[in-house]
Amino acid sequence: MTSVEKRPAKEYKKKSYKKKLRSKIVSKMINSIRDTGLSDDMTGFLLRTVHFHIPGYFLLLFLLLPMKYAPYALIPLLMPFIAFFYFQGCFLTIVEYKLCKNDLNIIDPYIVAFNDEVTDDNRYKYTLGVSFVYFFIVFLILYLRYQYDL
């Protein structure tokens, strides 16, 4: 194979595969949520609320868990962060949108606070920015706790 020829992309790297997989995950989540018997509005609101508050709850874990356990709290945070990159967006936001039937996004307050326009592109960029700041703070907390035996 010459350097000009392209190798075929592996299936899991193809955009169409990612989109199909994301749709399956979203559908399964929506079906599971609807099996609860609660209305779409209520479950969408609850999901959006949890989606917004989870990072704050995890900050408390990083601060309060014994230091030997605190780093393990990174695992459930890194999984959706990796999924965000893989799917090029947040599948939970899609579930929220389908349940609530409105285009409100949990990153929108940050965009508005910086007097920027709410667009899909800005949502993606701000999500990355807020996430990187968040993980910086988390690693700083863990470092300081480890360094000073807190």
Compute the 3-state secondary structure of the chain and give helix, strand, coil in percent, each to the nearest 5: 75, 0, 25
What pTM does this model have? 0.83
Q: What is the pLDDT of residues 2-43, one digit of tens each?
A: 555 555 567 767 888 999 999 999 999 999 999 999 999 999
Q: Where are the domains of the chain?
A: 16-147
